[in-house]
Amino acid sequence: MAKKVNEGKSDSTPDALNTPAKRALYNNLSLNESLALSVHESICQYRPDNWKGNETKELIIKGKLYEVLGDEKEVERIFPIVKQQGEY
C-alpha cells in the first residue's frame, strides 16, 4: 500500500495511467482519464527538445495544451504541473 501511495496510485487508478506524468495529469484534471491521456499524447508528440526554460518552446507546449483543453486559465493551471514532470 505504501508503494502505491508513493507512486500516486490508488486501487481506482486506471491501468492506462502507468507513469507518474500521466497520473499527475489525471489527478489534476478531475480524474478524467481520457483528457489526461489526450494531454499526455499531445505533449509527447509535439514537445521540442530542451523546451523547459525556453520561452518560445514553452509557448508551443502551451499552444498544444490549449488545443486539448480549450481554456486559457486551465492551460496556465496545468502547465506548471507538466513542466515539473521529468518524463516531458
- 7 found inside a domain: no
| Ramachandran class of 54: left when φ > 0, alpha when ψ lies in -120 to 50, beta otherwise | beta
How far apart, in whole angstroms, are the C-alpha atoms of residue 26 and residue 7? 13
25, with CB counted inside 10 A (0-12, 13-18, 19+), is: buried
Domain count, the chain: 1
pLDDT computed for residue 8 by the predictor: 53
Q: Write out the chain's pLDDT in tens, 88 residues.
A: 444 444 556 667 899 999 999 999 999 999 999 999 999 999 999 999 999 999 999 999 999 999 999 999 999 999 999 999 999 9
- 24 found inside a domain: yes
Q: Using alpha carbons, list the distances in angstroms from residue 40 to 18, 60, 81.
A: 12, 14, 12
- 62 found inside a domain: yes
Q: Find the domain containing 71 and state its range.
A: 18-84
72 close to 59: Cβ distance less than 8 angstroms: no
The pTM score is 0.86
pLDDT computed for residue 1 by the predictor: 45
68 close to 38: Cβ distance less than 8 angstroms: yes
